[in-house]
Amino acid sequence: MCSNSTSPWTNCDNRGIVIDSREGLPMLINCVAYQDGRKLTAMTTEAISDYVERPDCFVWVALRDATDAELDTMQEEFHLHPLAVEDARHGHQRPKIEEYGDSLFAVLQIVERQDGQLALGELDVFVGVNYVLSVRNRSQQGFLGVRARCEAEPHLLKLGSGFVLYALMDAVVDGYFPLIDELESTLEAIEEHIFDKNAAQANIERLYDLKRQTTVLKHAVTPLMDAAARLHGARVPRMCAGSQDYFRDVHDHLIRISASIETLRDTVSTAILVSQSTIGIEQNEINKRLAAWAGIFAVVTAFAGIWGMNFKAMPELDWTYGYPAALAVMTVVCVVLYVRFKRAGWL
């Protein structure tokens, strides 16, 4: 099986699976033929085209971070459409499902948590009448559990490549639900402190980060929801003809996730407005305090200004108790104003 690999970074392990020596991870995860819903044999890449030509079985190949040389090999073995291969080669595609004659090309975005942030991976799936080729890129999420689950239900695997496409889509979509729950929990934690004093700016920063994460998830879900709707209904691709009910279930899940995302975004937007309002309220409180103290000192300044004028006709200048009396008047006025502002809630 390593004879097909032209990369200087690859070699074979004792199972005959291609290993990327840079990471020690298999690039060719599995290459298996199935007949009547049951595993027929594992094979080398050279034998793929032989089994694909057999009408009584289908081939399921899984790759991880495939090189250009590996994609070229798969294109030759499966007779893949060059435009679909080109999309898989470049990666970073928008979620979509495209038909090329008797084959489908599906792009699914894998959203997972890495280093505290949402990271986007990609699963490209080539589906023919009797083959499935999945290429996983930039993701740590494995799909060996999907294969095991399918092999444990041969009566469903018997439906062929369309059911495998459903199983892969269902695994990707089910991975969105925990992220939704996590984002909702984060939002609830922020809302508990949204009215805390002097916490508005920190809350707004966290809310904007949360909104960015919901946008990442939205971009993965919304296009896929529109694409999945085409796999059940009046006209479906040939390989999906027996699996419409399963694709309808995936579509329903996507609708639920999309509704949750929209609710999250609306709640986050409302929370941001509330946080901004609390900033305005805090600023008003500060302004009232400043205005109250300014009013008190303005009265004192007025008295000091009046008694500071050096006119000879001012009787207070020659009064023995004029100075302490002036201080007493200013003190009383300041106390009265302070009490009034305190009762009004300005201080």
Assess whether pLDDT exceeds 60 at residue 83: yes
Determine the pLDDT at residue 16.
36
Determine the pLDDT at residue 10.
37
Q: How far is CA 182 from CA 188, 261, 329, 336, in A?
A: 10, 12, 63, 55
pLDDT: which is higher, 122 or 332: 122
Give the Cα separation of 169 and 180 in Å (integer): 17
Question: How many C-beta atoms surround the C-beta of residue 30 within 10 A?
Answer: 15
Q: Give the pLDDT confidence of 160-189 residue by residue, as tens digits.
A: 999 999 999 999 999 999 999 999 999 999
pLDDT: which is higher, 84 or 5: 84
Q: Give the pLDDT confidence of 204-241 residue by residue, as tens digits.
A: 999 999 999 999 999 999 999 988 988 887 678 888 88
Give the Cα separation of 48 and 61 in Å (integer): 9
Determine the pLDDT at residue 266.
94
Q: Give the pLDDT confidence of 247-290 residue by residue, as tens digits.
A: 999 999 999 999 999 999 999 999 999 988 887 777 777 777 88
Determine the pLDDT at residue 149.
92
Sheet with 117-128: list strands edge to edge.
Answer: 38-42, 28-35, 57-64, 131-137, 117-128, 103-114, 96-100
Determine the pLDDT at residue 26.
54
Assess whether pLDDT exceeds 80 at residue 66: yes
Task: Determine the average pLDDT of the residues in 297-321.
Answer: 72
DSSP secondary structure letter of residue 300:
H
Band of the pLDDT at 298, cuts 50, 70, 90? confident
Determine the pLDDT at residue 282.
74
Q: Give the pLDDT confidence of 126-152 residue by residue, as tens digits.
A: 999 999 999 999 888 889 899 999 999
Band of the pLDDT at 310, cuts 50, 70, 90? low
At residue 53, φ and ψ (nearest 5 deg) are: -75, -10
Task: Determine the average pLDDT of the residues in 332-347.
Answer: 81
Task: Determine the average pLDDT of the residues in 327-337.
Answer: 83
Instruction: Say which residue the tokens 């984002």 belong to.
Output: 183
Torsion (CA) 272, 275, 280, 286 in degrees, nearest 10? -160
Band of the pLDDT at 11, cuts 50, 70, 90? very low
What the chain holds in terms of domains, given with CATH numbers, is 1-154 (3.30.460.20), 285-343 (1.20.58.340)
Determine the pLDDT at residue 267.
94
pLDDT: which is higher, 213 or 345: 213
Determine the pLDDT at residue 17.
38
